[in-house]
Chain A
Amino acid sequence: MKTNSLVHFYKVNDSDHPVKLEVEVGHGQNSNSKILLNHLPVPGPGPEGSFVRSFELILGTNKELQGEELLMTTVVHDIMENTNMTSLTISLTGGVKPYTKTLEHSASKKGEVVTYSANIEFFK
């Protein structure tokens, strides 16, 4: 079943190699994301420390992320004239192997919002 939410376990190792989170908001839409890493807010460059539209973020090294948990919520605003589709692509790189997942949902009409959430656990 298609949902607007993602739950995943991402494997990391003992290295000091950084793990990168990439979030791509598709279909040209506007959005706002907030992230908690191990239940603490991760400050972003947007309003009130949030993340606006697509962004990249180094979460920490493989070693640092072992046993950590990431929770992200994203609200997408349908501002396009030619489509009501919204999408959120979450990519993780730098761990044992890259991971990418795209969530898609159509807004009922222009001006509506769609909410997404993701919960990722880092394990060794």
Chain B
Amino acid sequence: MKRTVIGVFFIFAFLISGFSQDSTLNVNLLQAPVSPAGSLLGISPSQIDNPTDPEAFMVSVKNAVGDFTKIPSSYAVDLAPAWLFFGSRINYNSFRSSRLIPTIWQSMVISTAVKSSSDSGISKTQFSIGLKVSLIRGNIDGSKVDSLIELSSILLQKLNNFTTGLDDLCKNDKEYQQYKDRMEVLATSGITDSREYRDLQDLAGERLQYLTELARMVSWNKLTKTEGYNILDSLKSIAEKIKWKRLGFKLDLCAGAVFDFPNMDFNKGSTTKAGTWLTGGYEWDHLSCLAVIRYLYNPNQVIGMADSLLPKTLFQTLDGGLRIVYNSTDNKFLFSGEALYRSVLEQNVMEPGWRFAINIEYEAMRNIRLNLSLGKDFDGNLSKGGNLITALNLILGLGSNKKM
């Protein structure tokens, strides 16, 4: 069977290799940008900050603007407001929910970017803002996650067995009881809003935390001996196995725009670029079908067109496409196919056209992977029809048995 598959690959590649023109066939042109603002300004994803708490966000902004003394030359940040500022209100059930409001709120990413440049003595500052939301996000693959969460809950219950020990420590700790006695006096006098009450609350809180750590350490040391294994290690292993993969129907919306301000003159600002992506599809465990409609206003690049051939005037493109990806259970076989229709809304700029691409990958043997790419690309010459392009790659891993 293995020999047959390899043979078919080679014969297929040989038959079509005569038409080969391009070995770099991208089969992921339909995906909406991870960061719309950064993408529209040409800032690479690795340079985009994604703070996960308000403090990290403040540090990111402060570093970018040099303690609020300058406009950064290149800076992009993506914020998920629900997680960054209101994460304490997202409980487990809400996170797993596929209802519309939690879906939109929790998936919302506000993307901002700024870039400054200077050309012939004229400085130009570009601001970009974007938004990305899921309207339908599918359901978490419960068959794999639920049992792990249940196991986590059982182990957490075992870890959380220091409540009585803590109660004993609290009762016998003089310092803690002194803070509480004073707090009680203030509370019964009706002055819980006072500075003194809040200070005492902080001191009592710190002491309670110290006592909690003591009770916890005593309890967990005993627990490791009685259970015969380290529950903390088990919890780490469980967390690593939990993958929050969502399956089912999905619909995402992504949009962004760039505003140019020559010489930082806000009265002369203009919108120079914009884009909207609507991505929808269905995802199974090993198969996904995705459709995209994309509108771009004055894009930096147009798929299948050399940058030098881009029109000098403002123009708009409207693209639509379909993408299918299949990955076998053992990850040995991968198939992805993409079809894309390109159009420019202005007349006489370029003809509409189609592009198809297929990528097939097979792990023939350990450390040997066959990769076949073929398709019909847009042609650089607008008046010419398509051509066939292929590429066959053989990847060999030498010197190690480690899986590639």
User: Which residues on A are within 8 Å of B, measured CB to CB?
Assistant: 1, 3-9, 11, 24-36, 39, 41, 46-48, 50, 52-54, 71-75, 77-85, 87, 89, 102, 104, 106, 110-113, 115, 117, 119, 121, 123
Query: C-beta contact mask, B76-91 vs A, less than 8 Å → 1, else 0?
Result: 0000100100011111
Check B188 for interface membership: any CB of A closer than 8 A. Answer: yes
Give complex CA distance A71, B238 in Å.
29
Q: Which residues of the partner chain A approach B157 to less than 8 Å between Cβ atoms?
A: 32, 46-48, 50
Structural contact, A84 and B52, CB atoms closer than 8 A: yes
Check B68 for interface membership: any CB of A closer than 8 A. Answer: no
The chain A residue with its CB closest to the CB of B159 is A75
Q: A9-B184, A26-B89, A71-B170 are in contact. Are A77 and B208 (CB under 8 A)?
A: no
Query: C-beta contact mask, B48-83 vs A, less than 8 Å → 1, else 0?
Result: 000011000000000000000000000000001001
Q: A26-B89, A85-B52 are in contact. Are A113 and B156 (CB under 8 A)?
A: yes
Q: Which of B225-283 contact A (CB under 8 A)?
A: 232, 235-240, 242, 244
6 contacts between A and B (CB under 8 A): A6-B208, A24-B91, A73-B160, A111-B238, A111-B240, A113-B156
Check B95 for interface membership: any CB of A closer than 8 A. Answer: yes
Among listed B4-12, B23-31, B147-155, B369-377, interface-contacting one: B147-155
Check B162 for interface membership: any CB of A closer than 8 A. Answer: yes
Give complex CA distance A117, B94 in Å.
24
Q: Which residues of the partner chain A approach B327 to less than 8 Å between Cβ atoms?
A: none
Structural contact, B89 and A7, CB atoms closer than 8 A: no
Among listed B198-206, B303-311, B340-348, B360-368, interface-contacting one: B198-206
Check B180 for interface membership: any CB of A closer than 8 A. Answer: yes
Q: Which residues of the partner chain A approach B159 to less than 8 Å between Cβ atoms?
A: 32, 75, 113
Structural contact, A123 and B152, CB atoms closer than 8 A: no
Structural contact, A121 and B90, CB atoms closer than 8 A: no
Q: Min CB distance, B250 to chain A, in Å?
A: 17
Structural contact, A30 and B152, CB atoms closer than 8 A: yes
Query: C-beta contact mask, B93-112 vs A, less than 8 Å → 1, else 0?
Result: 11110000000000000000
Q: Which residues of the partner chain B approach A28 to less than 8 Å between Cβ atoms?
A: 90-92, 94-96
Q: List 13 extra interface pairs beyond A27-B90, A46-B157, A113-B232, CB under 8 A.
A: A27-B87, A36-B163, A41-B164, A53-B93, A54-B91, A54-B93, A71-B166, A73-B212, A106-B53, A111-B235, A112-B232, A113-B156, A119-B180
Q: Which residues of the partner chain A approach B236 to less than 8 Å between Cβ atoms?
A: 111-112
Structural contact, A110 and B154, CB atoms closer than 8 A: no
Rank and list the top 8 A-B pairs by shortest CB-CB distance, nearest first: A28-B95, A111-B239, A111-B236, A26-B88, A9-B187, A32-B156, A87-B88, A5-B208
Q: A73-B166, A83-B52, A115-B212 are in contact. Are A30 and B153 (CB under 8 A)?
A: yes
Q: Min CB distance, B128 to chain A, in Å?
A: 23
Q: Which residues of the partner chain B approach A9 to less than 8 Å between Cβ atoms?
A: 183-184, 187, 192
Count contacts on B: residues with CB < 8 A to the other chain: 55
Q: Which residues of the partner chain B approach A35 to less than 8 Å between Cβ atoms?
A: 163
Check B179 for interface membership: any CB of A closer than 8 A. Answer: yes
User: Which residues on B are within 8 Å of A, measured CB to CB?
Assistant: 52-53, 80, 83, 87-96, 149, 152-154, 156-157, 159-164, 166-167, 170, 179-180, 183-184, 187-188, 192, 201-202, 204-206, 208-209, 212-213, 216, 232, 235-240, 242, 244
Structural contact, A53 and B209, CB atoms closer than 8 A: no
Q: Which of B91, B164, B204, B216 has the most CB of A within 10 A?
A: B91
Q: A7 is contacted by which of B153, B204, B237 (Cβ under 8 Å)?
A: B204
Q: Which residues of the partner chain B approach A26 to less than 8 Å between Cβ atoms?
A: 87-91
Structural contact, B156 and A31, CB atoms closer than 8 A: yes
Q: Which of B159, B183, B205, B242 has the most CB of A within 10 A?
A: B205
Structural contact, A5 and B242, CB atoms closer than 8 A: no
Q: Which residues of the partner chain B approach A27 to less than 8 Å between Cβ atoms?
A: 83, 87-88, 90
The chain A residue with its CB closest to the CB of B153 is A52
Structural contact, A123 and B206, CB atoms closer than 8 A: no
Q: Which residues of the partner chain A approach B208 to less than 8 Å between Cβ atoms?
A: 3, 5-7, 117, 119
Give complex CA distance A84, B404 in Å.
30
Q: B201 is contacted by which of A7, A46, A71, A78 (Cβ under 8 Å)?
A: A7
Q: Min CB distance, A43 to chain B, in Å?
A: 13
Structural contact, B83 and A73, CB atoms closer than 8 A: no
Q: Which of A31, A47, A87, A113 has the most CB of B within 10 A?
A: A113
Give complex CA distance A7, B210 in Å.
13
Q: Which residues of the partner chain B approach A4 to less than 8 Å between Cβ atoms?
A: 209, 212
Q: Which residues of the partner chain B approach A41 to less than 8 Å between Cβ atoms?
A: 163-164
Give complex CA distance A37, B239 in Å.
32
The chain B residue with its CB closest to the CB of A32 is B156
Q: A24 is contacted by which of B89, B188, B244 (Cβ under 8 Å)?
A: B89
Give complex CA distance A5, B371 in Å.
56
Q: Which residues of the partner chain A approach B242 to less than 8 Å between Cβ atoms?
A: 79
